[in-house]
Amino acid sequence: MRAGTDRALPAAAGALLLVNAAHPLPDSAPPELAGTGPRWPEVKLERRAAGLLRACIRAVGGQDVIVPVSGWRSRAEQQAIWDETLKTEGEPFTRQYVARPGCSEHETGLAIDLGRAAETIDFIRPDFPAYGVWGAFRRRAAEFGFVLRYPAGKEAVTGIAHEPWHFRYVGIPHAAVMAERGLVLEEYLALLRRAHTRTPLQVRAGARCFQILFRPAWDASLPPPERGTYRQVSGDNCGGVVITTWK
Ligand SMILES: [Zn+2]
């Protein structure tokens, strides 16, 4: 993705950006986007996230019953959604369910709202059940790098009410750790910052073994990866970077 290479300044891009009311996203160029499925070409995500979302939906046989409702949004679109919701639903509802422009994960292209196929779908709060194909998607999302971003019980950490429809792409090894340990992105980044600046977090996900290291500040002198080793660098939108390597 945008900051997947070491040359790009990774602080403001990557799969692990934390975006919330306290950490707004700098207004920058959108990531490279792709459609989330042939039937919903207007709903787009960052290219890699879009491919993995399509793969996860296919893996659970959800092509006809899982609808990508809202993916990447420009700042102007987020502003329009905020204004419209404020007008029709009032301020308490809007504050609870719509992020302020600049503070929405949807502006990263890494967040997707999913709904159950139906004649009418609520755009702000789509129905995405815990059973059937939708439940299967929830159980397998981490295999494809996605996590439920605002789970019940973590409202005090995320600052957002439980949103059973909002999934976030973070990348496969990171989703594996978050799912296994029950961590939301805020907690996962805090863990890396606290315990893995020197000793990498070792993660087995699928057939691969990943090493995850946190640096409190971007260091352009990072030596090139060893031969045969892949590396991805992501900013955390809080000044730090997460370096993920695998063979
Ligand atoms: Zn959402």
- Mean pLDDT along residues 14-43: 89
Residues 164-198: tens digit of each pLDDT: 999 999 999 999 999 999 999 999 999 999 999 99
- Domain extent, residue 82, equals 25-169
Query: By the 8 A CB rule, do 212 and 172 touch?
Result: no
Cα(194) to ligand 1 centroid in Å equals 29
**Per-residue confidence (pLDDT) for residue 82, from 0 to 100:** 96
- State which of 149, 169, 189 marks the end of a domain: 169
What's residue 5's pLDDT?
Answer: 41
Asked if pLDDT for residue 129 goes beyond 80, the answer is yes
Q: How far apart are CA 144 and CA 142, in angstroms?
A: 5
CATH number for the domain that contains residue 221: 3.30.200.180
- Are 125 and 188 contained in the same domain? no
User: At 29, is the pLDDT very low, low, confident or very high (cuts 50, 70, 90)?
Assistant: confident
- Describe the chain by its helix, strand, coil percentages, rounded to 5: 30, 20, 45
CA diameter of the chain: 57
Res 218: pLDDT: 78
Contact 33, 109 (CB under 8 A): yes
Q: Which of 46, 105, 163, 180 is catalytic?
A: 163
Q: Is 219 a residue whose pLDDT tops 80?
A: no
Task: Indicate the pLDDT class of residue 12, thresholds 50, 70 and 90.
Answer: low
Task: State whether 128 and 224 are in the same domain.
Answer: no
Q: Does any domain span residue 162?
A: yes
Q: Residue 160 C-alpha to ligand 1 middle, in angstroms?
A: 11
Q: Is residue 156 part of a domain?
A: yes
Are 119 and 187 within one domain?
no
Q: What gap in Å lies between CA 174 and CA 16, rounded to an integer? A: 9
Mean pLDDT of 64-72: 96
pLDDT band, very low/low/confident/very high, at 223 (cuts 50, 70, 90): confident
| Six-digit token string for 202 | 């070792």
Residue finishing a domain among 142, 169, 196: 169
Q: Is 163 a catalytic residue?
A: yes
Q: What is the pLDDT of residue 1?
A: 39
Are 142 and 192 within one domain? Answer: no
Q: Is 182 helix (H, G, I), strand (E, B) or coil?
A: coil
**What integer is the mean pLDDT of 100-129?**
95
Number of domains in the chain: 2
Confidence (pLDDT) at 9? 52
Tell whether 79 and 160 lie within a shared domain.
Answer: yes
pLDDT of residue 105 exceeding 90? yes
At 195, is the secondary structure helix, strand, or coil? helix
pLDDT band of 2, cuts 50, 70, 90: very low
pLDDT of residue 10: 52
Domain C-terminal end among 115, 141, 169: 169
Q: What is the distance in A from the centroid of ligand 1 to the CA of 222?
A: 35
User: Which residues have a beta carbon within 5 Å of ligand 1, which is an ion?
Assistant: 113, 166
- Averaged pLDDT score across all residues of the chain: 92
Q: Are residues 30 and 146 in the same domain?
A: yes
Q: pTM of the full predicted structure?
A: 0.93
Is it the case that residue 3 has pLDDT exceeding 50?
Answer: no
Separation of 154 CA from ligand 1 center, angstroms? 16
pLDDT digits (tens, 9 = 90+) for 35-59: 998 888 899 999 999 999 999 999 9
The reply to whether 122 and 207 lie within a common domain is no
DSSP state of 220: T
**Residue 175 domain-assigned (yes or no):** no
